[in-house]
Amino acid sequence: MSQSRQDFEARLRQIGAERYHDKHPFHHRLHGGQCTPDEVRAWVINRYYYQHSIPIKDAAFMSRVEDPDLRRIWRSRIEDHDGTEQNEGGIRRWLRLADAVGLDRDYVASRRGVLPATRFAVDAYVRYVRDKTLLEAVAASLTELFAPKIHANRIEGLLAHYDFADDSALSYFRNRLNEAPKDVAFGLGWVLDHADTQEKQDMAAAALTFKTDVLWAQLDALWGAYVEQRIPPGAWQPHEGLARGRAA
């Protein structure tokens, strides 16, 4: 027998309470001002690969959707990241953060130096959304339920501890505070409406768990490479990709 709508929503929220990457020690280090400049730069470079891949993921999802109303609603997610004539877009805002931490934005946009584990995790998410059911694809996006809190904590922590942090550098996170709620409201409602059997509820919960693993794995990779200094071959080295005039 399936859970009630209220109980199933509570089940999804509990996954975030236990598994969302706001609990990862790298984020505690970052938000607490303990990251070195190179650790911050490594985070910006690797997180860009995720930002770059989100609209690709959403386009893959839309290519499978036959309902024009669902496509129309989902299309705004691509526009939020890629931008429009009126909206700079999340990808360009992330590159402003790259500028602020002393990276060459062309280097960051090239995606050279991204950690292998980052590529594997993010590419796995894109394939998941492309290949799994629409219910699983939408449910995997529900980590957005937990994102506003981490964005608010990040803004507060970066402003308090890092000289590079200002309104321009942090514009990505401030905009997501406004953009994410509409995505959350629609995605959660859609999952609650369509996960109408125990089997479908289990599938949706597993999809959300998978997505938390994707996010956690990226931070594990950053910690191993740049906190513990075990940088794998081909990954970014601190002297690479700096803006002109910035010392290594």
Residue located via tokens 């190179």: 38
Q: Phi and psi of 228, rounded to 5°?
A: -90, 0
Residues of the chain with pLDDT under 50: 248
Tell me: the pLDDT tens digits for 109-128? 999 999 999 999 999 999 99
Outline where DSSP puts E strands in 97-181.
Answer: none
Tell me: the pLDDT tens digits for 55-89? 999 999 999 999 999 999 999 999 999 998 888 99
